[in-house]
Structure 1
Amino acid sequence: MNPGEHDLASSVRLPSPLVELRDERLELYGVELLLKRDDLIHPEVPGNKWRKLRYNLEAARGERFARLLTFGGAFSNHIRATAAAGYYLDFETVGVIRGEAHLPLNDALAYATGRGMVLTYLDRATYRRKTEPDVLARLLQQFGPCYVLPEGGSNGLAVRGCAELVAEITVDFDVIACACGTGGTLCWDCGWPRRGAACPRLRCAQGRPVPGRRDAAAAARSVR
Structure 2
Amino acid sequence: MKLKAKSSAVALALFAMTSSAMAEGFYVAVDGGAMGYSNSHILSAWGIDFNAGGAITLGGGYNFNNYFGLEAGFTNTGDSTITTYGFYSKETLKSSAAQLAAVGTFPINDRFSMFLKAGVANTRIDYTYWSFGTTASASASKSHAMIGFGGQYNFNRHWGLRVQYQDYGKTQVGPVIANGVPQAGTTGDIGMALFSVGGVYNF
TM-score (norm 1): 0.23
Could you say which structure has the higher helix fraction? 1
Q: Higher relative contact order by CA 8 Å / sep ≥ 6: 1 or 2?
A: 2
Could you say which structure has the higher strand fraction? 2
Which one has a bigger Cα radius of gyration? 2
